[in-house]
Structure 1
Amino acid sequence: MNRVLHLIVLLAILSFSTRNAAFGDEASIVSITTPRGVQQTFILIKPEHAIASVILFAGGSGKLGLSRMPPPQVGPYAFVAGNFLVRSREKFAAHEFMVAVIDAPSDQPRGMSGSFRLSTEHAIDIGPIADYLKSHADVPVWLVGTSAGSWSAARRAIAAGRDGIAAGSIDGLVLTSTVTRIAPGSSFARRFPEFARDYPDGVISMALPEIRVPTLIVSHKEDACEFTPAADAPALAKRLTGSAQVATVLLSGGDPPRSDPCEAYAAHGYYGIEREAVDRIAEFIATNSKHGPR
């Protein structure tokens, strides 16, 4: 074997080992058929003794481009590959949480639009994931969304007991870097004028009083994204009048940004303080979960 070929093979082995270590021995890709007849695929990480389960909703299009070749991995060109929740999935598992990182469903090949994230169809797709997790560990199931993923998480929490959709074993909600402003004239408003009209305050404009489960709001004080300012956290919390428990966590610090303000490697994505962010989320989940068979 010549030196160049040997180096290529060695790099391939190292890359495979790194990806495998990042996912852990109990990681897999699962695909289930939802009541709508579409395929909903997700990364599943199973700790030995789960104390809770979390369904993680990435921002952007939510399209992970998952590969079925072992070890399971996010597609190399997936826009959300570096998303805060996607890259922190093992940190959640380290808290003994069963983790599901969901991909866009099969009928959304280009990723999830804002209108789809707010649809009844999307809420329907999420329920079977919660039930799947529940069938593997009878522990509380929490929804955790970040940025545009906050629409998805909030929509499913609202759907519990509404729209003819069963609760789907949802026990709690975490909203991080929540979309709370759609600035007139912004790229988002131009692309989705109906949202600028009907949801000028983003998630705050949703039917949040219908949410009953404990809810945590996490923001970064230095988040410079125009759609997700930390200053809106109190207004968001104030709308959660029906939640069993509401708390707000404001974080600060981290590494210098190496992406645009609304992307993953900036304060918006808790860059450099991922562990602290996950630890605070895990603390709230552990404190506000009812463990054991119900």
Structure 2
Amino acid sequence: MGRLLKFWLVMVTALWATLAGAQLDQRVVDIPTRPGVSQRLLVLTPTAPRAVAILFAGGHGGLQLTAEGAFRWGEGNFLIRSRKLFVEQGFVVVVVDAPSDRQSPPFLSGYRQRPDHVADVKTVIAWVRAQARLPVWLVGTSRGTQSVAWVASELSGSDAPDGLLLSATILTDKGGHPVPAMPLAALRMPVLVVHHERDECMHCAFSEVPALMDKLVAVPRKKLLSFTRGVSRGDPCEAFAYHGFNGIERDVVAQAAAWILGE
């Protein structure tokens, strides 16, 4: 009897996933940002959206998104491979590629704290708000946290996002811009920090997370979600190690969404 019940639960779950996929609206959009420059986005919209999650991958960030919605790079990135999990939680998902003038190496490397990057993301936020009157969250993982934290610290008022989700945050970086060294006191929106306690990436030691949380002095609401489970494979700074929440993606997204949506 137990096996039969398990079988039907699996069947119902599969049917629900099929129906949800059939109801998913997916499109690729190019929006102008700066003179002669456009920003390509992959937009996934559920039937009953509750908020918007603008996703920033780690690494060099050059997804090289095709007009058909395929990724030439980054499909395995934690946020990219989990994008439909956010949709299942009621988020309009907006995946951000490198802009049209950064479509070759080094892509976003060395660019995430540049004024042009801030201008591009500001335009994306405005475009999203014109499409849907919903809370807009910037969501970054690994090097993507350097984008969202910096951009949010540079924007204010109606230009700023409604919240930030920082996952596998870059906490130390001798030659770059670690997130705790940014002007986080300027942030005036809720911030959710998601980190794996066993993250072995040299830039993301869990022992450095308290220093990050202490820098969030002016935010109206903050939370640390930490995880210990999962599977670690390969380079400790890559997406299928603990750094990328390998094997626990659904749980991570579900807990993050519950906090963001106030559930």
Q: Same fold (TM over 0.5)?
A: yes
TM-score between the two structures when normalised by the length of structure 2:
0.87
Change (3 A) 1:277 1:158: same
Tell me: CA distance 1:91–1:133, structure 2 relative to 1, closer, same or farther (3 Å).
same
Q: Contact 2:31–2:40 at 8 Å: present in 1 too? A: yes
RMSD: 1.8
Output aligned runs, 1:9-48, within 5 Å. 25-48=24-47
1:175 is matched with which residue?
166
Other-structure match for 1:283: 258
CA contact (8 A) 1:148 1:178 kept: yes
Report the CA distance between 1:111 and its aligned residue.
Answer: 4.5
Where does residue 91 of structure 1 map in the other structure? 85
Does the 8 Å contact 1:36/1:125 carry over to 2? no
The match for 2:229 is: 253
Contact 1:140 1:169 in 2 (8 A): no
1:226 corresponds to 2:223: no
What is the distance in 2 between the residues matched to 1:239 and 1:115?
23
Does residue 159 in structure 1 map to residue 154 in structure 2?
yes
% identical aligned pairs: 35
Alpha-carbon distance between aligned partners in 2 of 1:131 and 1:221, rounded to the nearest angstrom? 35
Shift of 1:36: 4.6
The number of aligned residues is 243
Q: Which residue of 2 aligns with 1:74?
A: 71
What letter matches 1:269 in structure 2? G
Q: Say if 1:167 and 1:37 are closer, same or farther in 2 by CA, change over 3 A.
A: farther
Equivalent residues of 1:38, 1:106 under 8 A apart: yes
- Verify the 8 A CA contact 1:220 1:251 in the aligned structure 2: yes
Q: 1:221 to 1:24 in 2, by over 3 A?
A: farther
Indicate the residue corresponding to 2:112 in structure 1: 117
Q: CA deviation at 1:37?
A: 3.8
Question: Which structure 2 residue ranges, 5 or more long, are not aligned?
Answer: 1-19
Of 241, 249, 255, which aligns to 1:274? 249
- Please name the residue that 2:214 is paired with: 238
Shift of 1:137: 1.6
Counterpart Cα distance in 1 of 2:93 and 2:125: 11
Kept after mapping to 1: 8 A contact 2:180/2:215: yes
CA deviation vs aligned residue, 1:184-229 (integer Å, no higher than 9, x gap): xxxxx4xxxxx3xxx4xx1110001001100011100110101011
Query: 1:67 corresponds to which letter in structure 2?
Result: T
CA–CA separation in structure 2 for the residues paired with 1:271 and 1:63: 21
Q: Which residue of 2 aligns with 1:49?
A: 48
Contact kept, 8 Å, 2:62 with 2:98, in 1: the verdict is: yes
Q: Among residues 206, 213, 219, which one is paired with 2:189 in the alignment?
A: 213
Shift >6 Å, 4+ stretches = 21-24
Q: Is the 8 A contact 2:24 2:46 kept in 1?
A: no
Matching residue of 2:12: none
Contact 1:23 1:45 survives alignment (8 Å): no
Q: What is the aligned partner in structure 1 of residue 10 from structure 2?
A: none
Distance 1:24 1:145, change over 3 A: farther
**CA positional deviation for 1:169:** 5.1
The residue type equivalent to 1:141 in the other structure is V
Q: Deviations over 1:221-271 (max 9, x none)?
A: 11010101111111101001111111111111112x222100000100000
